[in-house]
């Protein structure tokens, strides 16, 4: 039987390929896990739809119940689609089941990712005929879901959804209006989390996989530079475009940051907005984090520094560094890729390590970075630790135990690292770009304001000078340094403010 939650708020289906705690490869997984949760807590009717991936932990798979199964055509392929559901933290999740596409280890990176994304997009739209939920808005995220607006336009605009459950749906919605089950009135929001990956494929895919002819593909804006570009369809057709910080929303309209989509962002600037990501502060909490050997909270400032000191000592011990409270620890927790500004770090690291400091790297990525950091760790093991793997628990120890976290990115749509650092009381040193610029208030030594350190230009020595400024504060004015930490920890990093902005945007659409 259809349930109607949260009277009066828009009904939103949030489509993503990953969502915490079911699957995560990056920031999108965090957002899809925590934004809908906050929206629902604040009274919205938002449900999430994602693939039933093999790697979803067994304990969640066991809780899923079957909603429907059916077949649909994707171009010439007649494909099975199952829908399963479960509720977690008040949020209803729907899982699209097809073992051929999703029973594999991993989320992305397969030779047929284009077909998997096309299948998922069409499955989301087909599922609206079977769900006990009649969304007014589909909120799509990144290129894997970006075909939804194109399919909607070409295949569904004149169809009726919810027909399978028509008898069960009440005649009117919670406002007394008749349910509008027409796909035609469905609105779409598309959020760019990562503009680097747009889903660019051979044009032959249009006919073979999507079932479009060239004119149809062109009418959706999918054709670009003799290729088919999934994301451009969503950028052209979605009713609203968002990205994950206000500064980045401006930057992607420029040639430097626009990744060849700046023309669309400029043209559609009126529907583009930047909404800063939050973090799940119930999980990322130094007061309760089970990964930490000692705990502290901004609500009890007196105990912060003694307890953080214990974490620092445990971190130094664990990584084989000299255990010494007076050595400042600079850290990187990152994918080791060019985006993250690591060539700047390589440019100055030898010079910087001549100072009386310690350095920690936790990351996996490109060989040139891993190799240099490994060498540094071998060359000076009491000062430099290279942990070249993925370890969530260790990352929390570093956020809590380090003094400074470096994020000198070339571009950064939002960035969770600097936000998590401030939440745990380590000071970010960032380049002023995207979400880094929006979230870190640079230290002002005249009035003591700020929550971290920042520099403007993509220049290795600007980074070095800022790292030295930070060292100067740490060494010569511990009172001001500690005060800066308290200021960083006191900021509200939860989703509440941003979720309210999404709720507002949804309301404007219906
Ligand atoms: P991106 O999504 O571009 O990788 P973000 O800053 O948005 O960057 O998110 C990165 C997240 O991944 C952060 O929460 C960071 O702590 C985490 N992370 C990155 N590398 C590692 C690692 N090697 N081990 C543990 N966590 C990591």
Take atom 24 of ligand 1 and give the residue whose Cα is closest: 390
Residue 72's nearest CA partner among 117, 126, 128 is: 126
71-84: per-residue pLDDT in tens?
999 999 999 999 99
Q: 11: helix, coil or strand?
A: strand
Beta carbons within 10 angstroms of residue 65's beta carbon: 8
The residue written with tokens 């628990």 in the block is 393
Q: How many angstroms separate the Cα of 207 from the Cα of each of 78, 118, 457? A: 15, 12, 45
Identify the band that residue 2 occupies on the pLDDT scale cut at 50, 70 and 90. Answer: very low
Identify the band that residue 491 occupies on the pLDDT scale cut at 50, 70 and 90. Answer: very high
Beta carbons within 10 angstroms of residue 86's beta carbon: 16
Identify the band that residue 250 occupies on the pLDDT scale cut at 50, 70 and 90. Answer: very high
User: Positive or negative CA dihedral for 431, 17, 271, 281?
Assistant: negative
293-307: per-residue pLDDT in tens?
999 999 999 999 999
CB 430 within 8 A of CB 440: yes
More confident: 129 or 377: 377
The answer, yes or no, to whether residue 172 has pLDDT greater than 80, is: no
Identify the band that residue 4 occupies on the pLDDT scale cut at 50, 70 and 90. Answer: very low
Residue 94's nearest CA partner among 144, 123, 46, 51 is: 51
Take atom 19 of ligand 1 and give the residue whose Cα is closest: 334
Residue 365 is given by DSSP the state E
Task: Indicate the pTM of the whole model.
Answer: 0.92
Average pLDDT score over residue span 311-315: 98
More confident: 268 or 159: 268
Average pLDDT score over residue span 182-201: 94
pLDDT at position 184, please?
Answer: 87
Q: How far is the CA of 333 from the centre of ligand 1 (A)?
A: 6
202-224: per-residue pLDDT in tens?
998 888 999 998 889 999 999 99
Ligand 1 pocket residue status of 245, Cβ below 6 Å: no
Whether a cis peptide bond, with omega within 30° of 0, leads into 21 is yes
Ligand 1 pocket residue status of 335, Cβ below 6 Å: yes
Tell me how long the chain is. 510
- Indicate which atom in ligand 1 lies nearest the CA of residue 399: 16
Triad 38, 141, 369: Cα angle to 5°: 100
Q: Where are the beta strands (DSSP E) in 120-233?
A: 137-141, 187-192, 200-201, 223-224, 227-229
Ligand 1 pocket residue status of 420, Cβ below 6 Å: yes
pLDDT at position 132, please?
Answer: 85
The answer, yes or no, to whether residue 7 has pLDDT greater than 70, is: no
Ligand 1 pocket residue status of 417, Cβ below 6 Å: yes
pLDDT at position 72, please?
Answer: 95
- Indicate which atom in ligand 1 lies nearest the CA of residue 28: 2
**What are the tokens at 342?**
């690591």
Ligand 1 pocket residue status of 364, Cβ below 6 Å: yes
Q: 106: helix, coil or strand?
A: coil
For residue 28, how far is the Cα from the chain centroid? 3
H helices within 332-390, ranges in order?
A: 342-352, 367-379
CB 405 within 8 A of CB 429: yes
CB 162 within 8 A of CB 179: yes
Ligand 1 pocket residue status of 283, Cβ below 6 Å: no
- Indicate which atom in ligand 1 lies nearest the CA of residue 389: 23
Least confident of 130-134, 180-184, 435-439, 486-490: 180-184
Q: How far is the CA of 436 from the centre of ligand 1 (A)?
A: 14
Q: How far is the CA of 417 from the centre of ligand 1 (A)?
A: 6
CB 418 within 8 A of CB 393: no
Q: How far is the CA of 336 from the centre of ligand 1 (A)?
A: 10
The answer, yes or no, to whether residue 165 has pLDDT greater than 60, is: no
3-state helix, strand, coil split of the chain in percent (to 5) is 40, 20, 40
The answer, yes or no, to whether residue 483 has pLDDT greater than 90, is: yes
d(CA 267, CA 237): 12
pLDDT at position 3, please?
Answer: 40
- Indicate which atom in ligand 1 lies nearest the CA of residue 414: 7
Ligand 1 pocket residue status of 362, Cβ below 6 Å: yes
Least confident of 31-35, 157-161, 479-483: 157-161
Q: How far is the CA of 319 from the centre of ligand 1 (A)?
A: 19
The answer, yes or no, to whether residue 41 has pLDDT greater than 80, is: yes
Per the DSSP assignment, residues forming a β-bridge with 453 are 429
What average pLDDT is seen over the chain?
94
Beta carbons within 10 angstroms of residue 137's beta carbon: 21
Ligand 1 pocket residue status of 391, Cβ below 6 Å: yes
115-124: per-residue pLDDT in tens?
999 999 999 9
Identify the band that residue 435 occupies on the pLDDT scale cut at 50, 70 and 90. Answer: very high
| Site to substitute for ligand 1 among 395, 398, 418, 422, most atoms within 8 A of C-beta | 395
| Site to substitute for ligand 1 among 335, 396, 401, most atoms within 8 A of C-beta | 335
Ligand 1 pocket residue status of 4, Cβ below 6 Å: no
The answer, yes or no, to whether residue 246 has pLDDT greater than 60, is: yes
Per the DSSP assignment, residues forming a β-bridge with 407 are 430
363-393: per-residue pLDDT in tens?
999 999 999 999 999 999 999 999 999 999 9
CB 197 within 8 A of CB 146: no
| DSSP element (H, E) containing 50 | strand 45-51
Average pLDDT score over residue span 168-184: 67
pLDDT at position 157, please?
Answer: 83
pLDDT at position 59, please?
Answer: 97
Take atom 8 of ligand 1 and give the residue whose Cα is closest: 415
Ligand 1 pocket residue status of 26, Cβ below 6 Å: yes
The answer, yes or no, to whether residue 34 has pLDDT greater than 80, is: yes
Q: How far is the CA of 364 from the centre of ligand 1 (A)?
A: 10
Residue 151: what are its φ and ψ, rounded to 5°? Answer: -60, -40
pLDDT at position 174, please?
Answer: 63
| Site to substitute for ligand 1 among 34, 191, 333, most atoms within 8 A of C-beta | 333
Take atom 16 of ligand 1 and give the residue whose Cα is closest: 417
Ligand 1 pocket residue status of 390, Cβ below 6 Å: yes
The answer, yes or no, to whether residue 163 has pLDDT greater than 60, is: no
d(CA 298, CA 493): 13
Triad 455, 460, 464: Cα angle to 5°: 70
Q: How many angstroms separate the Cα of 508 from the Cα of each of 80, 136, 187, 268, 274? A: 36, 12, 11, 17, 16
Ligand 1 pocket residue status of 363, Cβ below 6 Å: yes
Residue 499 is given by DSSP the state H
The answer, yes or no, to whether residue 164 has pLDDT greater than 60, is: no
Q: How many angstroms separate the Cα of 124 from the Cα of each of 116, 149, 158, 164, 451? A: 12, 11, 17, 15, 42
Q: How many angstroms separate the Cα of 263 from the Cα of each of 190, 267, 268, 484? A: 17, 6, 9, 41
d(CA 230, CA 454): 35
Q: How many angstroms separate the Cα of 470 from the Cα of each of 307, 428, 464? A: 22, 10, 10
């Amino acid at each position: 039987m259809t349930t109607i939650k949260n009277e009066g708020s828009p009904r939103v289906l949030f489509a993503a390929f990953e969502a915490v705690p079911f699957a995560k490869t990056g920031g999108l997984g965090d957002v899809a896990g925590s934004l809908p949760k906050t929206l629902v807590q604040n009274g919205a009717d938002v449900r999430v739809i994602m693939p039933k991936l093999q790697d979803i932990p067994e304990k969640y798979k066991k809780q899923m119940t079957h909603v429907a199964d059916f077949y649909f055509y994707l171009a010439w392929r007649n494909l099975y689609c199952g829908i399963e559901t479960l509720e977690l933290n008040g949020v209803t999740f729907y899982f699209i089941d097809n073992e051929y596409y999703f029973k594999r280890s991993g989320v992305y990176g397969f030779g047929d990712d284009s077909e998997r994304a096309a299948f998922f997009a069409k499955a989301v739209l087909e599922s609206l005929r079977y769900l006990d939920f009649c969304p007014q808005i589909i909120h799509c995220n990144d290129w894997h879901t970006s075909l939804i607006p194109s399919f909607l336009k070409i295949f569904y605009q004149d169809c009726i959804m919810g027909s399978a459950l028509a008898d069960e749906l009440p005649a009117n919605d919670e406002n007394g209006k008749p349910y509008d089950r027409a796909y035609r009135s469905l609105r779409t929001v598309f959020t760019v989390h990562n503009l680097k990956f747009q889903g660019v494929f051979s044009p032959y895919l249009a006919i073979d996989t999507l079932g479009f002819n060239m004119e149809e593909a062109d009418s959706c804006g999918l054709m670009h530079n003799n290729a088919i570009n999934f994301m451009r369809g969503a950028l052209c057709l979605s009713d609203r475009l968002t990205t994950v910080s206000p500064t980045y929303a401006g930057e992607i309209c420029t040639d430097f940051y626009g990744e060849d989509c700046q023309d669309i962002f400029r043209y559609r600037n009126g529907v583009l907005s930047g909404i800063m990501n939050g973090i799940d502060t119930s999980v990322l909490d130094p007061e309760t984090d089970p990964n930490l050997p000692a705990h502290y909270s901004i609500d009890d400032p007196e105990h912060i520094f003694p307890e953080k000191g214990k974490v620092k000592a445990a971190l130094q011990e664990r990584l084989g560094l000299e255990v010494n409270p007076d050595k400042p620890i600079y850290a990187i927790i990152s994918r080791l890729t060019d985006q993250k500004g690591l060539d700047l770090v390589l440019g100055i690291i030898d010079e910087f390590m001549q100072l009386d400091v310690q350095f920690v790297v936790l990351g996996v990525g490109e060989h040139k970075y891993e190799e240099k950091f490994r060498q540094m760790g071998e060359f000076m093991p009491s000062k430099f630790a290279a942990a070249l793997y993925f370890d969530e628990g260790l990352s929390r120890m570093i956020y809590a135990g380090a003094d400074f976290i470096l994020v000198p990115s070339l571009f950064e749509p939002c960035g969770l690292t600097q936000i998590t650092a401030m939440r745990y009381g380590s000071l970010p040193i960032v380049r002023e770009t995207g979400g880094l610029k929006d979230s870190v208030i640079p230290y002002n030594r005249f009035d003591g304001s700020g929550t971290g350190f920042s520099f403007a230009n993509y220049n290795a020595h600007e980074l070095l000078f800022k790292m030295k400024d930070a060292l100067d504060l740490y060494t010569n004015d511990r009172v001001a340094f500690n005060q800066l930490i308290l200021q960083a920890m006191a900021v509200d990093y939860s989703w509440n403010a941003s979720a309210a902005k999404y709720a507002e945007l949804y309301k404007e659409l219906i």
